[in-house]
Chains A and B, each alone.
Chain A
């Protein structure tokens, strides 16, 4: 087989595309600069600890699940299981490999999660849709059980929990709120860039082809089974790193219970609300999920004059999420990102409505 493709005739101009890209890049650059300069501007640690760090980590987890579910069309309800693998693997590496720098431990944790994800992706060659979802459910419960059952994974701690032995990089202490925020932000920026490359590459197109119609994908020469397993592995790599960050950059101390089925559903809600098959959608979904409880809390306090029952609030939150999920699935399966794009389109045309 040769790489050269017989030619027909070419005429191709990409100038307008480049112009549009330049404007977007500027916007993105500004946003990034702001994000990295944020900690000293904020003053209080509350925003970092309670909002921004979980928002970043959840965005990353959403991104991981989105690569599998939104781009490759393989629904998974086992996201948190793979996050647990990443967290416990990173912990194990930091603990048992002396002198291993933090980035390598995170990378190793991600790779181990990827291997486990690849393994649980094997059934996807034979099983589709609902039944495949059930196998990911099995993965969720199995992995959660493994990390609770075998003390080796949490170094025989009597509490059954893990906490990061050291969060430092080149001698800098990353255990401060600003340090943990910057660690999470760096991971998110780097991995978002990689995901952006991937979904626009031939690999990403192959994933989407499998999502849209896997029989046709096979006929045009895409090795469907291999790409499904690959998507499981890549997705789990992202989830694994998100899991490690969830445990060490956000919670500080975690156990198998930190990665239960509710976490999996939370990640799934992020991509349904944010937008399946969209990278920016994960950030919208994660922002929504992490900001809504806070908004409800404030709204509740304002309405009831300071007396608010947290139990009631949590119930209310579940009701609202449930209603929203149904609304999005019925009305806008492409999520917040689609709503935002429609709005932008309308604003652009606004003075010329006719």
Chain B
């Protein structure tokens, strides 16, 4: 495998009680690109993300991340290796403030021990200050400062999505998995979110794999599109290639049998 590829999905199959969600799926994600997963509802896109960060265990196939074969991925292990993700339906900590939500994303960098934190010893205080500074950076980057100390549960949906993006971003992931980051947003919010995703990709060099239904957004944002239908890959290439692919058109518009 070449170093240009950060992630390789090889022959992954996943089924739930006999129902195939993903069958024999293979594709690669190049380092530094934004790869979009598209496909009709139930095509297996979210299931695939759940396989990638270890929420689901595939029946067969293998994942290669950063030239290392991942076996029996656990979500925790995936996070430690630098795979961050957001969820389709927000999975934020609703009773905590925006900044505290972001800070939880830094847990894997925590080095000070229990007693150090309980007694407020210097190392713990230094670490807390470092974490705070990092959180302020992310708040600024995602323009979330006005809501810094607001309880997340009381925020508008679009803002919550942005907080969730921040919580994944704060840990400096190498691969960022975004499950419908723009679902339920209006055009203005979508433009904003697209801009943030493009900024993250360009300025921080983070590789992004995202699921999106809005074809217009996908075409504007990513250079690489993978199309799924009934758990199979039906298209893989640049947006123009994919749009011209008859199988993709069939998947979206239906076809005459």
Give the B-binding residues of A (Cβ under 8 A): 1, 3, 5-12, 194, 197-198, 201-203, 205-206, 208-209, 211-213, 215-223, 230, 277
Contacts and interface: CB of A to CB of B under 8 A. Distances in A.
Interface stretch (B30-38, B61-69, B105-113, B236-244): B105-113
Given A11-B140, A12-B136, A220 B105 contact: yes
Interface in B92-151: 92-96, 100, 103-112, 114, 117-120, 124, 127-128, 130-134, 136-138, 140-141
A9 B137 contact: yes
A202 B171 contact: no
Contacts of A217: 93, 104
Interface of B: 53, 55, 75-76, 78-80, 84-85, 87, 91-96, 100, 103-112, 114, 117-120, 124, 127-128, 130-134, 136-138, 140-141, 167-168, 171-172, 203-204
Contacts of B78: 219
A1 B80 contact: yes
Contacts of A209: 93, 96, 104
Nearest to B74: A218
Contacts of A213: 91-94
B95 A212 contact: yes
A221 B118 CA distance: 21
Contacts of B167: 220
Contacts of A216: 87, 91-93
Nearest to B102: A205
Given A202-B106, A217-B104, A9 B133 contact: no
Contacts of A211: 93, 95
B128 A201 contact: yes
Nearest to B140: A11
A203 B134 contact: no
Contacts of B93: 208-209, 211-213, 216-217
A201 B96 contact: no
Contacts of B92: 212-213, 216
Given A5-B172, A12-B136, 18 more contacts: A8-B137, A10-B137, A194-B118, A194-B119, A201-B124, A202-B112, A205-B96, A205-B104, A208-B93, A209-B93, A211-B95, A213-B92, A216-B87, A219-B78, A219-B87, A221-B105, A222-B104, A277-B95
Contacts of B132: 12
Contacts, number: 120
A11 B94 contact: no
A265 to B, nearest CB: 24
B80 A8 contact: no
A40 to B, nearest CB: 31
B104 A10 contact: no
Contact of B133 (A6, A10, A221, A223): A10
Contacts of B76: 218, 221-223
Contact of A5 (B95, B117, B120, B134): B134
A221 B87 contact: no
B119 A219 contact: no
Nearest to B169: A8
A219 B124 CA distance: 24
29 contacts: A1-B80, A5-B130, A9-B141, A10-B140, A194-B119, A197-B120, A198-B117, A201-B124, A202-B103, A202-B127, A202-B128, A205-B96, A205-B100, A208-B93, A208-B95, A208-B100, A212-B96, A213-B94, A215-B91, A216-B92, A216-B93, A217-B93, A219-B55, A220-B79, A220-B107, A220-B171, A221-B79, A222-B76, A230-B114
B65 to A, nearest CB: 15
Nearest to A220: B105
Given A3-B109, A212-B93, A219-B79, A202 B131 contact: yes
Contacts of B118: 194, 197-198, 201, 203
Contacts of B91: 213, 215-216, 219
A231 to B, nearest CB: 11
Given A198-B118, A212-B96, A220-B168, A5 B106 contact: yes
A7 B140 CA distance: 12
Nearest to A208: B96
Given A8-B137, A208-B95, A203 B79 contact: no
